[in-house]
Amino acid sequence: MKKFQILLSVIMIATQACSVAIKNPTGVPSSSAPVVLSSATLQPTSVPTASPNPTFTPTPVPEAYVASADQALFNGDYDTALAEYTSALATTADPAIQAAGMLGQGRIYLLRNDFPNALSAFRQVTDNYPGYSQAADAWYYLGETFIQLDRFSEAAEAFASYLAIRPGILDAFMNERRGDAYTAGGDYSSALAAYISATQSPRLATNFDLELKLAQTYSILGDYATAGVVYDDVFNRTTSQDIKAQIDYARGQMYTAQGQTDQATTAYVDAVINYPQTYYAYLALVELVNSGYPVSELQRGIVDFNAGQYGVALSAFDRYIALNPSDSSTAQYYQGLILRDQEDLEGALSSWDAVIQGDATSPVWDSAWEDKAYTQWAYQEDYAAAEKTLLDVVAAAPSHPRAAEFLFDAGRVAERDDRLADAAQIWQRIATEYPNSDYVYRAAFLAGMCYYRLGDYPSAQTIFWQAQTLATSPAQRAGAYFWLGKTQAAQGDSDTAKSTWQQAASIDPTGYYSERARDLANDRLPFTPPATIDLGLDRESELRQAEQWMQNTFQFPASADFSVPGPLASDPRFIRGQEFWRLGLYDHAEAEFNNLRDEAVGNPLTSYRLAVYLSDLGMYRQAILAARQVLDLAGLDDAGTLTAPVLFSHIRFGAYYPDLVAPIAQAYSFDPLFVWSTIRQESLFDPSIQSSAGAYGLMQIMPATGENIVSRLGWPADFTQSDLLRPKVNLTLGQDYLADQRDNLGGDLYAALAAYNGGPGNAAAWQALAKGDPDLFVEIIRYDETRQYLMGIYEVFSIYSRLYARGQ
């Protein structure tokens, strides 16, 4: 097995190495390259062999222990951080370092839910080092610790102590936390005063949570008029349906408490009618039903359906249909969805047939056709029936706005059933019957793929040539040319194929098909890393070059100040963002800096300052976005951005978390550039990000998947879902899972990535259909998200490879 060398110091490796035993995959050749951090590390240190005396290793100074511990804490490596803080405390009597070490220990205890030890550590800081900067932080952490111990009044006092030491920075946040503590303890009068103070302090204007808490507290204290004023203000400013429904429900509760039943009913009805998909609409419906109010059975069924109350929803739809037989399509459509969920597939199909045979102008008529076809192929595996359903709707309503979409889907169903000739013929109809639809190019492209898979290369070549004439973007045109080259190569015309790939490479530089064509033209396998990777940066030189470019590009005067952070340092959002970041409140910090960045979208200098500052701070996602803002303002397209000073590329495609990514990648025989590319695609290097699907952290791991990996590894101990937000844990579990997919799929990185995103079973099926052709594998992927995911990682990997190749 070929292994890449990581030329780090022995001390760094020993300090930062994973404490969990990571498996060493067998049977999979490594494609990783030697890695160097800078040219300085290339000089080997000679070790005398004649002397029997041991080599002297200097003991790190206490400041170094604290710095190492802080970095480990940022990385989520609690064991290393705790050990380093402890070493700092043991090697110095310096009160500043003692305070920093104790504070760090306390933070780790708090993160581990060891509240007694956290309390003791923070108390030592506040009692013994009240004049040091760590004291205010300790008071904040004490407040959070007291809340966990149900000592709410002490928590509120601790937050107040923070404010006394550090006023005028996080007043809104700390007063809100005081209010939360008082509320938890049932002291609503004190909570009200704290929330009012919070609303009167500088803060981002979009914190509706605070205002909702304020209104709720007014309501609890019986001041319904003031609560109503606050609710009305939020209702009028928010665009969130959830918040509007929540306010409707709260209004209903207040009116009920005052005996104003008509007003309460009006509020509940507004939630049910206008926001039926929300949880509060369901609560409002319960209130209306319990009060005997005659809610429409259709609306009742829809709200119950959205709340997952299928049994009562089905009954409501039955009652509605019985009362309204001539206007029952919506109820019948929802009945079909419920019956399918209950595995009554024939009942579901019967409900949708009733909709189909009814009024074609019904808003759910097309959805009934769609769900019928989907159920036939996805649940019943009756592909021929599903194809017929989709072709029938096109025949029944050829001018319907979705007719081209249904025809496209019919081709996809035939392709899923491995009837490639039928699929190609269906897809070719779209260019003739719906020449102005958005599906024209994609349908022609997939028709060409069908002929290619059938081995009918002349027909495939003809169709791909047609596809390039239908292309509406460089990416589409590059894709058509790429596959023209593949068909030429398949027919034995390798010289023409190489020439075509060279053309494809020039059409959409940095796009997937152009990057892949460039690799094929140069006989490179997918994800081939450079011979040697050099992560060394000359930051000062890069900054000078970037400043000169900024001055020339945006015509700043010679006296322009490019200092970082410059004037940003006095912006309240910048100040709050720094403080939140220092306290480990990363989501709050990101909100502040994101607000700054959004405001700077048309300001290249402010965007530049944010990009540089945030990349140094460690808020990589916001730094990447800010750097791209500068390049957009310069009028650069994707390829053009790489011609800008290298500072921007190093920010946008950074080798972030090197002390974690490199050794873990080595342990799992991954090239680190491949891992960085995957992380960038998954999270843009945001360790605290959570997806709408419930995935967490840098490598977007689902909690259930994380639990399975932890069970197998036996690490980390006492695993909880929040551990997925720790970079070290997330990167270890993510690479372990990715390595499992790679090993199970014969070392195929394309298939491994597809499994990571689209599921192992799907990846195995696509791999079998591709028959060893990685390019065919990409096209066979039937989930657009997974295909774009894989292609995106390939694009980013190509950029990383050029950016960090030795000598570049």
Report the pLDDT averaged over residues 328-352: 98
Q: What single string gives the DSSP state of each residue in 3-16?
A: ---EE--HHHHHHH
Please list the helix, strand and coil fractions of the chain in percent, rounded to the nearest 5, in that order: 70, 0, 30
- Res. 62 pLDDT band, cuts 50 70 90: confident
**What was the pLDDT predicted at 4?**
34
| CA atoms of 628 and 643, how far apart (whole Å) | 13
The residue that leads in pLDDT, 211 or 4, is 211
**How many Cβ atoms sit within 10 Å of the Cβ of residue 67?**
15
Residue 596 and residue 667 in one domain? no
Q: Does residue 716 have a cis peptide bond before it, meaning omega lies within 30 degrees of 0? A: yes
Residue 716 and residue 781 in one domain? yes
Strand partners, 35: 6, 533
Give the list of residues 6+ apart from residue 44 with CB closer than 8 angstroms, or none: none
| Total domains in the fold of the chain | 4
**What was the pLDDT predicted at 59?**
58
Q: Are 618 and 630 within 8 A, CB to CB?
A: no
Phi, psi of 200, deg, nearest 5: -90, 0
Give yes or no for residue 34 having a pLDDT over 60: no
Give yes or no for residue 296 having a pLDDT over 50: yes
Last residue of a domain, one of 520, 555, 586: 520
| CA atoms of 578 and 586, how far apart (whole Å) | 10
| CA atoms of 581 and 594, how far apart (whole Å) | 13
Q: What is the DSSP letter of 401?
A: T
Residue 514 and residue 375 in one domain? yes
Q: pTM here?
A: 0.91
Q: What single string gives the DSSP state of each residue in 322-339?
A: HH-GGG-HHHHHHHHHHH
pLDDT digits (tens, 9 = 90+) for 693-745: 999 999 999 999 999 999 999 999 999 999 999 999 999 999 999 999 999 99
**What was the pLDDT predicted at 31?**
41
Report the pLDDT averaged over residues 649-677: 98
Which range of residues forms the domain containing residue 411? 359-520
Instruction: Provide the phi-psi class of 747: left if phi over 0, else alpha when psi is between -120 and 50, else beta.
Output: left
Residue 648 and residue 666 in one domain? no
Q: Are 329 and 365 within 8 A, CB to CB?
A: yes
Report the pLDDT averaged over residues 601-607: 97
Last residue of a domain, one of 596, 628, 652: 652
Give yes or no for residue 805 having a pLDDT over 80: yes
Last residue of a domain, one of 463, 486, 520: 520
Domain presence at residue 694: yes
Please name the helix (run of DSSP H) or strand (run of DSSP E) that holds residue 533, with its range, or none. Answer: strand 533-534
Domain presence at residue 684: yes
Q: First vs last Cα of the chain: how many Å apart? A: 27
Give the list of residues 6+ apart from residue 304 with CB closer than 8 angstroms, or none: 282, 285, 310, 312, 313, 316
Residue 648 and residue 668 in one domain? no
| CA atoms of 614 and 79, how far apart (whole Å) | 27
Helix extents (H) in 527-603 = 539-554, 572-582, 586-599
**What was the pLDDT predicted at 205?**
80
| CA atoms of 552 and 424, how far apart (whole Å) | 53
Residue 505 and residue 568 in one domain? no
The domain that holds 637 is classified in CATH as 1.25.40
Please state, for a pLDDT cut of 70, what percent of the chain lies above it.
92
Give yes or no for residue 459 having a pLDDT over 90: yes
The residue that leads in pLDDT, 466 or 10, is 466
Domain presence at residue 24: no
Domain presence at residue 2: no
Q: Are 621 and 594 within 8 A, CB to CB?
A: no
**How many Cβ atoms sit within 10 Å of the Cβ of residue 553?**
17
pLDDT digits (tens, 9 = 90+) for 235-264: 999 999 999 999 999 999 999 999 999 999
**What was the pLDDT predicted at 806?**
83
Residue 692 and residue 553 in one domain? no
**What was the pLDDT predicted at 510?**
96
Phi, psi of 649, deg, nearest 5: -70, -40
The C-alpha R_g of the chain, in whole angstroms, comes to 31
Residue 740 and residue 633 in one domain? no
> What average pLDDT is seen over the chain?
93
Note the Cα 693 to chain centre separation in Å.
9
- Res. 88 pLDDT band, cuts 50 70 90: very high
Strand partners, 541: none
Give yes or no for residue 433 having a pLDDT over 70: yes
| CA atoms of 63 and 493, how far apart (whole Å) | 65
Domain presence at residue 187: no
- Res. 42 pLDDT band, cuts 50 70 90: very low
Residue 378 and residue 507 in one domain? yes
Residue 625 and residue 738 in one domain? no
The domain that holds 711 is classified in CATH as 1.10.530.10
CA atoms within 13 A on the CB side of 144: 19
Q: Are 414 and 387 within 8 A, CB to CB?
A: yes
| CA atoms of 63 and 81, how far apart (whole Å) | 13
Domain presence at residue 525: no
**What was the pLDDT predicted at 807?**
63
Full 3-state SS string of 83-140: HHHHHHHHCCCCHHHHHHHHHHHHHHHHHCCCHHHHHHHHHHHHHHCCCCCHHHHHHH
Residue 799 and residue 665 in one domain? yes
Q: Tokens 């207040």 label which residue?
A: 254
Domain presence at residue 82: yes
Give yes or no for residue 430 having a pLDDT over 90: yes
Query: In this predicted structure, which of 6-10, 369-373, 459-463, 509-513 has the lowest mean pLDDT?
Result: 6-10
| CA atoms of 218 and 230, how far apart (whole Å) | 9
Domain presence at residue 478: yes
pLDDT digits (tens, 9 = 90+) for 744-794: 999 999 999 999 999 999 999 999 999 999 999 999 999 999 999 999 999
The domain that holds 426 is classified in CATH as 1.25.40.10
Report the pLDDT averaged over residues 1-17: 34
- Res. 207 pLDDT band, cuts 50 70 90: confident
Q: Tokens 């490019």 label which residue?
A: 562
Q: Are 767 and 786 within 8 A, CB to CB?
A: no
Residue 516 and residue 585 in one domain? no
**What was the pLDDT predicted at 6?**
34
